[in-house]
Structure 1
Amino acid sequence: MTTTTREPAIRVRAVTKSYQDLHVLRGVDFDVAPGSIFALLGSNGAGKTTLVRILSTLLRANTGTATVHGFDVASAPGDVRRSISLTGQFAAVDEVLTGRENLVLVAKLRHLRNPGAVADDMLARFSLTDAGNRRAGTYSGGMRRRLDIAMSLVGNPPVVFLDEPTTGLDPQARIEVWQTVKRLAKDGTTILLTTQYLDEAEQLADRIAILHQGVIIQNGTLAELKQLLPSAEVEYVAKQPTLEDVFLALVGDTADGAAMPAGGESR
């Protein structure tokens, strides 16, 4: 993951949003470096989704400014939309179509040349080639989410918004999505991730901003945020396996796209 002195991929300054007497955002400021993962951490109702909708031009702020990939979200919404992809809290795939057909459809909507080749490339990129000709409705939650992210990345947008990407997923599916997000950032994509899961932000983010009651109350690296609390007393104990270690040891680390028994469908 790269962080440089270039202009921020996302810049937010004094953004507010209210609905009559309900003040959802009360002056939000932050920058996101190109090619980094920025986690916006907060509880339900903190304003995370509202902010993402503003940055993706689906909603207008009351006051303040925001730029994405160098374009102002208010004055150049078309340029912003061409520079981003948005993946919401729930996978937006057509379950009647196959995985490949979903990708071909998106490629055609984006007016890309050779949509079949584009679809095949995305299936390979997201380890879905073996499942490409199966109906998306037979996919597990992790596979469906990977397909959803693949669809949003058709055309290689430089900035990606992931709004609560692992909501409702089982532990193994969450890990698969985390691996996908890390690969995207490694390839240079800028990612703004909203989550209410502390471990998700800890696993993925280069920087973490905590949004509370409509304002950013802290913004820093994981190490910087940990320094806000006093050091714990050190005790030397034998390392115990984590729940994740136990879970993966019991179920194995098999890919969702693996062949299934005849007549079986992954759920």
Structure 2
Amino acid sequence: MGIVLGANQYGKAETRLVRVTRDGGTHTLTDLNVSVSLAGDLVDAHLSGDNGHVLPTDTQKNTVYAFARRHGVTSVEAFGLLLARHFVASQEPIHAVRVRLESYSWTRLGPHSFQRDGAEVRTATVTCDRSGATVVSGVTDLVLLNSTGSEFVGYRQDGYTTLAPATDRILATAVTARWRHASADGDWDASYAAVRSALVSGFVETYSRSLQQTLYAMGERVLTERPDVVEVRMSMPNRHHFAVDLTPFGLDNPNEVFYAADRPYGLIEGTVLRDDAPAAGLAWW
């Protein structure tokens, strides 16, 4: 029985990039975290230590900074495409590239003053080989809460079930969503804003009988409103809120005072896609 090298890649992870665009006295701030992975003809590097096909990860980091200066950063998707296409086109041993980006939002306080926004982070993953590119946009830590309009009843029970049915509960989650575009061309900022709005609307406007139902409704809303999106993947923790028993203090609690538990939590994950959606084409989506 032989031993062989399996799938592999390497790259520079989490290059922190802050780009200040100076337009007279008014500045624009872009704050990114960029991770690059390269795959290709790298067998010799693993088996014999021959680095002839290895582009140093330090070079990858430098390319991120140089491209930020030379090309600017209009959107995470566009910047990721520039980087991915560059590495595939310029490095013959490299057959496929993945660029993952996180964008941190800042609110303008003045011409050159800013305040960092909350935990929500815009993301993008660009994968590219010599046959083309795939763009996946996304968001992490999109925290949403409905104080009513949610129930959880009729579930399967066994000898270990202690959960009481809930006909009126708080539904809260921190959405991680990623959506695949039909093509590698688009108005990325407008598309991101529209998809985010559709996700939020799907959450707000759905009477929820389960977080699974809400997840599907959110993905369905995106695909209904955005023909440029072919697939949505979501991970949604159920941030449980439990009504506090106030009877020891002679008080009632008509669903007004809650304990917000951070763990353990239910974790609901799923994919909503068009039944004729083309395959992603690259394994790194």
Common fold, TM-score beyond 0.5? no
What TM-score does the superposition give when structure 1 sets the normalisation length?
A: 0.27
Larger % of helix: which?
1
More RCO (CA 8 Å, sep 6+): 1
Task: Select the structure of larger CA radius of gyration.
Answer: 2
What TM-score does the superposition give when structure 2 sets the normalisation length?
A: 0.25
